[in-house]
Structure 1
């Protein structure tokens, strides 16, 4: 039986996130820098011959039919007409409702693994277009490298980011994205920036426009940011709730971790320049087909 085990679904951080406008359909226009990090969920995928898509383990609060990994598998199956199925086993390490893209990354890794195992042969661009049906962040995890994103998050350009370590705090709350984007207090008119300005333009404030709203609604997020700000430029990722701070040296990140109060879950992560599934898929990965060198 064909299978792939321990398929990594990496987290992302938003190094900044600006809301620059709102479309007629209600979706917000964004600019952000997506950073891959080496903290991951892991997925085991086994091919079934009967066409059934089955999640083999329970995940608290996530029914199988609404799980993005199941939805992703069924979407690929329908789109390609594939008659094969899959058993999917997901080991969660990334917090839900934390703004680190866990569900979106899980869905992307599902698509990558099954496109390989089912031999459906979709190229990167087609897989990214398909993935947009699952959520605005999913195409980024199929892009293969860090990115400057615009639109609703789906217009991506490759971005070189610093090789650093991050300390990440989980404030202990799940922040519902709709509550943040629907808040009257949300800034929706930040002046657009250029990819060439990031991160070197010292005159530009590289902030998260969603952070002020999240802190007002969830004091736990504000408390985590205030504490971590002792050590550097701490900010929230995505629509929350996780907060992070960058450090040049791993040893500096380790020292901060030792000081974190017990009320928070905390961890360190290393910046990645490429998606770790490239190694898992070897010479048949979609990024090599797209002409990317994934070292």
Structure 2
């Protein structure tokens, strides 16, 4: 059988508001997640023993700390699986960019190995496992664009417009704790209903801090705003500009400053991972 690569898509936070902070330091959010048709890929070979082997280690990240390995071991233990897996990762999503790469990788591992190991867990169960790995993992597991509350794990499916995006990286990495720990971060944005938020111009409460602390983010956003509505995604460092057509996005991509890099992708409300799983299940005769 030819090697199969399971999608691990990037996400955007189309808006992100911080409405409070918990005693444990976590922040209560209201955010809108949408996937894009661009991301990493993972392949899997099932092993007869219980070893979890990552054949493509990530520089600077020990295997024990890698979300790919942690997700595999979590599912293995939860489902009582005696098999193992060799996992390869093709990385395209910038690390530390606010595009959810690590969380998406973890979700793809949970979805793929649940199928390959025949664990028979539903997506809701996998999402409950995933939240122990990170607050963004459940939305990737559930596979539908969502309005999220809590720390990002309380999900309500929504259908935002599937626009085209120029997603740009300013060449810096922003540690999430740096943004959430800034004393000037807005933490009291009023809580609103999803219908009100969807009809209100989108914004990101983390953006002023990222622009203040990182000149490169400020510079890139100021440049993009000359062409289209543009915002930070997550806590950064990536920013994105929205367009109605692919050609309009690519025209601006061609003009990007040489010190930054970017790509064009379409927003999608159903995750490419879930489309792939449907085809895999039909091909494997399990659907």
What's the counterpart of residue 291 of structure 1? none
Does residue 273 of structure 1 match 2:269?
A: yes
What's the counterpart of residue 235 of structure 1? 231
Could you tell me how far apart the structure 1 residues matched to 2:135 and 2:277 are?
Answer: 24
What's the counterpart of residue 217 of structure 1? 213
Q: Is contact 1:17–1:31 with CA below 8 Å preserved after alignment? A: yes
Deviation for aligned residue 1:27: 0.7
What's the counterpart of residue 179 of structure 2? 180
What's the counterpart of residue 245 of structure 2? 249
What's the TM-score, normalizing by structure 1? Answer: 0.92
Deviation for aligned residue 1:273: 1.7
User: Given the alignment, which residue of 243, 247, 258 partners 2:254?
Assistant: 258
In 2 relative to 1, CA 281–212 (structure 1 residues): closer, same or farther, beyond 3 Å?
A: same
Q: Is contact 1:228–1:245 with CA below 8 Å preserved after alignment? A: yes
Deviation for aligned residue 1:58: 2.8
Stretches of 4+ aligned residues off by more than 3 angstroms:
none
**Unmatched 5+ stretches in structure 1:** 286-295
Q: Is contact 2:136–2:153 with CA below 8 Å preserved after alignment? A: yes
Deviation for aligned residue 1:4: 6.2
Alignment of 1:1-295 (within 5 A): 5-201=4-200, 205-282=201-278
State the aligned residue count.
281
Deviation for aligned residue 1:160: 0.5
**Unmatched 5+ stretches in structure 2:** 282-287
Report the RMSD for the aligned CA atoms in angstroms.
1.4
Partner of 2:268, secondary structure, is: coil
Could you tell me how far apart the structure 2 residues matched to 1:209 and 1:38 are?
Answer: 25
